[in-house]
Structure 1
Amino acid sequence: MRFKLTCIALLPGLTLAEQTPYQIDELVITGSRYEASGWQLPFSVNRIDAEQATLGKPGVNLSEALGSVPGLVVQNRQNYAQDLQVSSRGFGARSAFGIRGIKLLADGVPLSNPDGQGQAATFDLDTLERIEVLRGPFASVYGSNSGGVIQLFSRDGEGAPKVSVDTSQAAYGTSRTRVAAEGGNDKAGFIINRSHFETDGYRDHSGAILDKTFAKLTLYPDDVNKLSLSFSELDQNDTQDPQGLQWREVKTDRRAAAPNALLFNTRKTVDHRQFGLNYERSFAAGTWQSTLYSGTRRVIQYQSIPKAVQENSDKHSGGVIDFERRFHGLGNRWIQPFDLGSSLLTITAGLDYDYSRDDRHGYENFVGDTLGVKGDLRRDERNEVTSLSPYLQAAWQLGKLDLQAGLRYNHVQFDVDDNFILSIACQNPQTENCDDSGSVTYHKLTPTLGASYALLPDLNIYASWGKGVETPTLNELSYSGQYNSFGFDLKPATSEQFEIGLKTRVAEATNLQVALFHIDTDDELVVASAQGGRNSFQNAAQTRRRGLELSLESRLSETLRANLAYTHIDATYSKDFTSNGRLIESGNHLPGIPTRSLYGELAWQPVDWFSTAVEGMYRSKLYVEDSNTAKAAPSYALFNWQARFEQKVGALTFNQVLRIDNLFDREYIGSVIVGDGNGRYYEPGPERAWYVGAGVQYQFD
């Protein structure tokens, strides 16, 4: 019999137990460091299964799958050069590119660097089994820069071997093809997936081509061992970057690219490769879990920094970013349960190690009068980030009462070796290019406590508390020191979080989760100045975030299913500070965080071969900078519709998908670039867009 074990990754997750057709499935934790009922755990966690996340959807962006999670704001920039923008209860809302301040994991392997900056584009939704999202105080058990945790799990190859081919066409010159094979038995399983995506983009100068490969081999040597090997690859060449628009430009032509984006041909190339190994062994006394990973990432990005700005300063690092990154890491943990008769105590002890090294260069983005080409060298340095974090957790189940505690020591070290020095003597660091080499280390203990109590068999209440830490990223440190040097004096932001909530099942067909939260943050990183195409940062603010989250999942009948997610958050500065020479007053709203968000989905499957769904989302206005005086991105409501058909003929299974996004053709701002120095805050979302797809799968005997 195959070894049944908990998932190798760390994040608590939810699975579905067997129920009657009209009864909502019970939630059971299987991805934590121990097994427990999801109703008893004192934190907010949501699970999205593959069917909900991918069926009837393009399968390109993580934003397609996360709309039903309260507390999350996922903004699709329609800009594949900059990736998605994701925030959790306000953490990560300021990120100008990629995902910041949220721990992103795929099969236990971090997609976030040790400095907290990560990318979601490398994960392949075609191989998805489920997504688990953790919010609140207990997110800090995953280390620094964990304002929230998003964990993606790929499925293991199972059953008779099968091969499949899918293709799709969509608006704005968008197409995608995919080929895959998978299968397995009680000794081994495999899955291989290859996809090709290309688009002209909704806006001018926003074309992209993405090639992804994913392969996974799972081995079951015996009843107590499991080993998984995975490989992922992303090739993204010359992806165009339309940049943000000023408000007057949005009103003139919302599909336009920023003028300088065309002038400098702004673009980005990414080559990413990653290997992962997950191993688990069950002993009579406990369980050992281990994760090992390694990879490389090459990025070349052409920016639109004006020629004169670079020529007028020896200290400027240029308008072309070129780096090669090597990264690796290791996670080990021992899970030990103690049966105390009337109670169960589970202790988990572990150690996470993560390392990345960037060989980073900067070049001028011009040669003579020719713009948008690689010119003279302006930056040459090695950046290393090392994170080493031991932790200890305890869970004590006492009948109706569940107690949780955790303690993690976060140690993050930055080392910079500057090899581009124009002035050895460095008599005037304000104007001369001096040696910016140096090192800075951040360390912090982050405790967590929580308790839940079962008032009724289907009603649990809980409370939790925790502290967190968020280090600056390499990008934020790079220009934040005196005279635009490396900012070794920046401090980490620290937070204290409280959460209370309830989890209940109503009429055996509806799951309801409600959470109230309060977050105070000290030394929040904010923009100190914006000049020369660069933002420098400072520790200048105290912030307060208070809110309500509601998640509702209901099986209304055997054929009808509904989901609802609502978030209300009041996110403000609680202390005055100065940014770009302006006073930012206490009480101003944090930019990039909507006060209200609402998501709803109604899915109907009357017969096995046909299903259809409509989803709607509302988002209140978004402030775009700290003073709250610039035009806020207006609120909007969107509706999407999809239908899926399936036919089986012997060993063949055919499927077809029809989808319409932005059904009522609304004009809206899909995302904002917080605090942009040129006032180009706005990234317009697309108008009504169609999507059609078809596929075939053959299963061998």
Structure 2
Amino acid sequence: MSLPRPHVPFVAGLLVSFACPAFAQSPAAPQSVVVVTGSRTEQESFDLPAAVSVVDAQRIGAGQPRVNLSESLVTVPGIVVQNRQNYAQDLQVSSRGFGARSSFGVRGVRLIADGIPATMPDGQGQAATFNLDMAERIEVLRGPFSALYGNHSGGVIQLFTRDGEGAPAVEMSTTAGSDGLRKTDVNAQGKAGAVGYVIDASRFETDGYRDHSAATRDQGYAKLTMATNRDGKLTIVANSLDQDDTQDPLGATWQTFKRDPRAGEIDTTDTQTPQRTFAERYNTRKSIDHRQLGLNWQQRFGPHRLQVTAYGGNRRVIQFQSFSRGFQQQPTHSGGVIDFDRDFRGVDVNWQDVRTLGSGMLRTTFGLEYADSEDARQGFENFDSTGPGVKGRLRRDENNRLTSMDPYVQTQWESGAWVLTGGLRHTRLKIGVNDRFVANGDDSGGTSFDGTAPVIGVLRKISPSLNVYASAARGFETPTLNELFYSASGAGFNFGLSPSRSVHLEVGAKSMFGAQTRADIALFQASTRDELVVAVSNGGRTSYRNAARTLRQGMELSVASTFGAGWNVQVAANLLRAIYDDGFGTIPRGNRLPGVPRASVFSELGWATRDGNINAALEAQASSKVHPDDANAAVPAPGYGVLNARLQARQQAGRWHFKEYLRLNNLLDRDIVGSVIVAEANRRYYEAAPGRNWMLGFSARYQFQ
């Protein structure tokens, strides 16, 4: 099959932008941050031919409870993180429009924590497993170079937690807020001899902004770091996540949202209890039990480096969905209760070779990544003789096995003003199903997907304060298990799905104006064939199909500047044209992709005292309308603009360190659709974001000698 065709006018525009950078030169040397995402080795973000953003610990904790990625990634252009106000379904994370179709969890974006994947071999990840309390920074890679991280299309979000250093310290923090929000975190860290340690435990509770959306989340985290010899380092990380009976409020129709943004959808078929919602009638909820252990060993041999990463874990989920009794009585249906027990593991071994080549330095990384997961999966009816909302008769019983084997190579040559980068990764994913419940037919079988992702990039250093670059890649994204589980008819696995393949082009510029201002701009295009789109979404269950071709074209801009008298400003803006480039079924060419805003902007005006003990900021966030369906026929979620404010203070008394913060969100109390459920069969697309709300936090840390 042919690759997606390029769009000549847009590509020409990219080349013109590359030839005529928008930023003037500045004599001051640029200040940058060291990142590893993109090149797999320590390198200045300013010198990477890719769109890379870094969110540091100060921003992650900037008057926030540190519960969701949506709190901190709002400052990254091209990334849209929708907080569903639904902790049963996790956040909706998309990068350049990839991942917006996901009905739960993170799809199309690769998640990594301390070098250990938080994304399963099939490409499905859970952002809730990230520990933001101990985060040192988050690196976000968008565009072509993310293809070198495997099975996804949109980008990479990589979390790095702090190492234990110095004298022991203990800390306790607590947060309270609107709608019964409560969080308590306790941690200890330090270094004893050659061993650094970090231990953290937290509990988060909320009554929920939307009806039937209460949640309790317990997280645990531990990290040990130690030197294995003069040039070696071993890191061991363990984390846990527990959510028991997290309520699922489901979506609402447009009429219900307009009447009351908090309200759930009334089940008009419920004659016994009028005015009861679907969520209440079926007691829709999810319980999660997640455990993971990983290690990373790095050993240097002069300029060369060997790195070994290994991990394993278990994830147990029980989810109660909402379906009518009549729908459940179909003999091919697998029930409204999902119950699976997943074991997963993986290993990544890579060798980095560093040597001179001609007039420059050549760095080459050779690696092999293996991962597998195995599910013991059952499905039950969600009713019995007592009524709905309980585990009933068995409808599905099977084992699912996934294995992936990905060899990869990445090389970079730097000489003078030029940086040349290239890479190649081959993904082979195998999926096997052993069906033990054959009363509705035997769905046993298997399939495999193969794809190769080449990447190339070039960066030119125009001056010490201005770099321009161009890059290109071919992406490869397989269906996840969740996308394969159901066909549109509701019967068994959908082995007819194909992987999507995409071609990515990007040009950009990175500039410093003096020593106080940093500005990055990127123009991009991604053309995809066989993109996976929602066929039917009903009550939490979603089936998928392949579209023809899609096209994404856009621009990302980020600016950060510091002024005198303690003032600073930050802007992150994104423009995105995301359309169906070919029609399919009844969907005409040119329709906008659902779940993807055309534009989004974040800006912040901040101020701090000279010593930094008091700081405050006013935040503005805006987004354009979002279509919830492929036909673009339903009422789009309206565009919105909101204002937030925060105030922070800190004090020290001897060995005690104190911090306080106050945050006010949605100051003008706007009614907002925070996210949409794409292609929901009953038109219950809309998930409301909170009106005006507040948070108040306090922390105390004691530093031992």
TM range (shorter): over 0.9
2:73 corresponds to which of 51, 66, 76: 66
Calculate the TM-score normalised by the size of structure 1.
Answer: 0.93
In the alignment, which residue of structure 2 is the partner of 1:235?
242
Fraction of identical pairs, as percent: 48
1:577 pairs with 2:595: no
Distance apart, 1:187 and its partner CA = 1.2
Contact 1:44-1:135 at 8 Å conserved across structures: yes
Residue by residue over 1:606-636, the C-alpha shift from the partner in whole angstroms, topping out at 9 and shown as x without a partner, is 1432111221110000010000010000000
Contact 1:186-1:220 at 8 Å conserved across structures: no
1:25 pairs with 2:31: yes
Residue 167 of structure 1 aligns with an amino acid whose one-letter code is T
Distance apart, 1:23 and its partner CA = 9.1
**CA 1:494–1:635 in structure 2 vs 1: closer, same or farther (change >3 Å)?**
same
Contact 1:271-1:299 at 8 Å conserved across structures: yes
Contact 2:536-2:679 at 8 Å conserved across structures: no
In the alignment, the residues of structure 2 paired with residue 645 and residue 475 of structure 1 have an alpha-carbon distance, to the nearest angstrom, of: 45
Secondary structure of the residue aligned to 1:172 is: helix
1:343 pairs with 2:360: yes
In the alignment, which residue of structure 2 is the partner of 1:162?
169
1:616 pairs with 2:620: yes
1:379 pairs with 2:396: yes
Contact 1:24-1:509 at 8 Å conserved across structures: no
In the alignment, which residue of structure 2 is the partner of 1:318?
335
Distance apart, 1:339 and its partner CA = 1.7
2:683 corresponds to which of 667, 670, 679: 679
Which moved further from structure 2: 617-626 or 184-193?
184-193
In the alignment, which residue of structure 2 is the partner of 1:363?
380
Residue by residue over 1:1-48, the C-alpha shift from the partner in whole angstroms, topping out at 9 and shown as x without a partner, is xxxxxxxxxxxxxxxxxxxxx997323334542343322221100001
Contact 2:538-2:682 at 8 Å conserved across structures: no
In the alignment, the residues of structure 2 paired with residue 183 and residue 531 of structure 1 have an alpha-carbon distance, to the nearest angstrom, of: 49
Residue by residue over 1:497-538, the C-alpha shift from the partner in whole angstroms, topping out at 9 and shown as x without a partner, is 100110111122111110000110000112345579744322
Which moved further from structure 2: 207-216 or 482-491?
482-491
Describe how 1:61-140 pairs up with structure 2 within 5 A: 61-140=68-147
Residue by residue over 1:327-348, the C-alpha shift from the partner in whole angstroms, topping out at 9 and shown as x without a partner, is 0000111000112362001111
In the alignment, the residues of structure 2 paired with residue 504 and residue 565 of structure 1 have an alpha-carbon distance, to the nearest angstrom, of: 15
In the alignment, which residue of structure 2 is the partner of 1:502?
509
In the alignment, the residues of structure 2 paired with residue 38 and residue 338 of structure 1 have an alpha-carbon distance, to the nearest angstrom, of: 21
Describe how 1:120-269 pairs up with structure 2 within 5 A: 120-184=127-191, 187-258=194-265, 259-269=277-287
1:605 corresponds to which of 602, 605, 608: 608
Residue 680 of structure 2 aligns with an amino acid whose one-letter code is D
Secondary structure of the residue aligned to 1:140 is: helix
**CA 1:407–1:47 in structure 2 vs 1: closer, same or farther (change >3 Å)?**
same
In the alignment, which residue of structure 2 is the partner of 1:441?
448
Secondary structure of the residue aligned to 2:129 is: coil
In the alignment, which residue of structure 2 is the partner of 1:397?
414
Distance apart, 1:85 and its partner CA = 0.3
Contact 1:344-1:397 at 8 Å conserved across structures: yes
Secondary structure of the residue aligned to 1:591 is: coil
Secondary structure of the residue aligned to 1:67 is: helix
Residue by residue over 1:325-373, the C-alpha shift from the partner in whole angstroms, topping out at 9 and shown as x without a partner, is 1000001110001123620011110011111111000001001241100
Distance apart, 1:284 and its partner CA = 2.0
1:302 corresponds to which of 320, 325, 335: 320
In the alignment, the residues of structure 2 paired with residue 419 and residue 362 of structure 1 have an alpha-carbon distance, to the nearest angstrom, of: 12
In the alignment, the residues of structure 2 paired with residue 28 and residue 533 of structure 1 have an alpha-carbon distance, to the nearest angstrom, of: 41
**CA 1:654–1:34 in structure 2 vs 1: closer, same or farther (change >3 Å)?**
closer
Residue 325 of structure 2 aligns with an amino acid whose one-letter code is K
In the alignment, which residue of structure 2 is the partner of 1:288?
306
1:420 corresponds to which of 437, 459, 464: 437
1:626 pairs with 2:630: yes
Paired residue total: 665
1:653 corresponds to which of 652, 657, 662: 657
Residue by residue over 1:117-168, the C-alpha shift from the partner in whole angstroms, topping out at 9 and shown as x without a partner, is 1110011110000000000011100011142100001100111101111112
**CA 1:282–1:177 in structure 2 vs 1: closer, same or farther (change >3 Å)?**
same
Secondary structure of the residue aligned to 1:87 is: strand
Residue 320 of structure 1 aligns with an amino acid whose one-letter code is V
In the alignment, the residues of structure 1 paired with residue 53 and residue 537 of structure 2 have an alpha-carbon distance, to the nearest angstrom, of: 38
**CA 1:56–1:482 in structure 2 vs 1: closer, same or farther (change >3 Å)?**
closer
Secondary structure of the residue aligned to 2:525 is: strand
Residue 326 of structure 1 aligns with an amino acid whose one-letter code is D
Residue by residue over 1:261-289, the C-alpha shift from the partner in whole angstroms, topping out at 9 and shown as x without a partner, is 11101000000010010110000251001
1:667 pairs with 2:671: yes
Distance apart, 1:653 and its partner CA = 1.1
In the alignment, the residues of structure 2 paired with residue 190 and residue 601 of structure 1 have an alpha-carbon distance, to the nearest angstrom, of: 35
In the alignment, the residues of structure 2 paired with residue 159 and residue 531 of structure 1 have an alpha-carbon distance, to the nearest angstrom, of: 53
Which moved further from structure 2: 537-546 or 62-71?
537-546
Contact 1:75-1:85 at 8 Å conserved across structures: yes
In the alignment, which residue of structure 2 is the partner of 1:13?
none
Which moved further from structure 2: 604-613 or 197-206?
604-613
Residue 171 of structure 2 aligns with an amino acid whose one-letter code is S
Secondary structure of the residue aligned to 1:546 is: strand
Secondary structure of the residue aligned to 2:179 is: coil
In the alignment, the residues of structure 2 paired with residue 662 and residue 529 of structure 1 have an alpha-carbon distance, to the nearest angstrom, of: 33
Calculate the TM-score normalised by the size of structure 2.
Answer: 0.92
**CA 1:113–1:167 in structure 2 vs 1: closer, same or farther (change >3 Å)?**
same
In the alignment, which residue of structure 2 is the partner of 1:7?
none
Residue by residue over 1:478-511, the C-alpha shift from the partner in whole angstroms, topping out at 9 and shown as x without a partner, is 2238873312221100000100110111122111
In the alignment, which residue of structure 2 is the partner of 1:553?
560
Which moved further from structure 2: 551-560 or 466-475?
551-560
Residue by residue over 1:418-452, the C-alpha shift from the partner in whole angstroms, topping out at 9 and shown as x without a partner, is 00001xxxxxxxxxx11101110001111011101
In the alignment, which residue of structure 1 is the partner of 2:596?
593
In the alignment, the residues of structure 1 paired with residue 507 and residue 346 of structure 2 have an alpha-carbon distance, to the nearest angstrom, of: 34
In the alignment, which residue of structure 2 is the partner of 1:409?
426
Residue by residue over 1:522-581, the C-alpha shift from the partner in whole angstroms, topping out at 9 and shown as x without a partner, is 001123455797443222321000000001111223622221100000000011112xxx
1:692 pairs with 2:699: no
**CA 1:455–1:24 in structure 2 vs 1: closer, same or farther (change >3 Å)?**
closer
Structure 1: gaps spanning 5 or more residues? 1-21, 423-432
Secondary structure of the residue aligned to 2:493 is: coil
Secondary structure of the residue aligned to 1:159 is: coil
